[in-house]
Structure 1
Amino acid sequence: MRTTARRWSGLLLLLLGAGGLFAQQDPQFTQYMFNLLALNPAYAGSAERVSIKGLTRHQWVGFEGAPMTQTLTVHSPVWHQSLGVG
């Protein structure tokens, strides 16, 4: 009986304390179709040459502290085989 009460009180404290925690934020890519490597690492080396791509996104322009997302990806095939670096 005591063990069950301790478990429930521990669970309750854990749930009440979790209100102030924040998880990692996921970047938002509205132009993901132009930079597939940012979402799928298996895309590295799929082009026949070195590929360098950069994207930037400004959301809520004009507001202080507005979110911005920038990505820069570089990938290339390796030794003309089915290998890629990126």
Structure 2
Amino acid sequence: MASEQELRASIQTIPFDPRFPNQNQTRNCWQNYVDFHRCQNIKGEDYEPCQFFKKCFTAICPMDWVEKWDDQRANGAFPAKLD
């Protein structure tokens, strides 16, 4: 089991994105989710740089939103173009 100090050392926040300067990070969450799936669709699932977007959206998005968007993508009802 990791000590509290090791756990704190492993916790990182996402970098500042000047496109989203406000406290409300909803758009930042959405954009990172969309960018991750666009990146995977274009470059393939094994393309490591895509993981940056995944790290960002998993850090700031509520998991309920991510699950909803995953369901929408699976059903072909996702509102953004991912190609």
Q: TM-score surpassing 0.5?
A: no
Larger radius of gyration: 1
> What TM-score, normalized to structure 1?
0.25
Structure having the larger proportion of residues in strand: 1
Greater fraction of residues in helix: 2
